[in-house]
Amino acid sequence: MTSPQRIGVYPGSFDPITSGHTDIIVRGTRQLDRLVVAVALHTGKDPLFSHEERIAMVQAEVAALKGDLAAAVEVVGFDTLLIDLVRAQQARCILRGLRAVSDFEFEFQMAAMNARLAPEVETVFLMASERQQFISARFVKEIARLGGDVSSFVSPRVLARLRARFAR
């Protein structure tokens, strides 16, 4: 008898995808049979990159993953309730990354709300890696906007997109 596939959904705005996000994708994939990276249309704020651009950037990072990791990852866009996507993907967990204590309250609330909406779905947290824990897409955008060097926070592909966006 084969056991059911362990499928997880990693949602976020990925505006843009940073090496912190990619680290969670790589580590999440090791724990799952299939990981669906879900790029939200609605970010709660004005995104720098369009939904299509954010999806394309995540796809490019996944395609560049080493070994056979990419085969276990699928990238989708969504504009629905997260739980509806999780169910449609037949996933059993939502994957999130936790950086500082400041992430905790929001993540705790979201996990609790989603647990009410879908008790069968577990939210699973991975602690940010030591080297990535201070990286946030918000600061990456702010530094890039002001002409600072963000090359150690994002891939060369994302760096090129940021440079093009902020070119004078």
- Interface residues with ligand ADP (CB under 6 A)? 12-14, 18, 20-21, 24, 43, 96-97, 99, 103, 128, 132-133, 135-137
DSSP reduced 3-state for 145: helix
> Cβ of residue 7: shortest distance to ligand ADP, in angstroms?
18
Are residues 128 and 99 in contact, defined by beta-carbon separation less than 8 angstroms? yes
Residue 2 CB, nearest approach to ligand ADP (Å): 31
- In terms of Cα–Cα distance, which of 112, 117, 37, 51 is closest to 79? 51
Q: Compare residues 7 and 26 and give the one whose CB is closer to ligand ADP.
A: 26
Least spacing, CB of residue 1 vs ligand ADP, in Å: 34
Cα gap 80→48, rounded to integer Å: 21
Q: Which is nearer to ligand ADP, 92 or 99 (CB)?
A: 99
Measured at CB, which residue is nearest to ligand ADP?
20
Q: What is the torsional sign of CA 107, 111, 117, 120?
A: positive
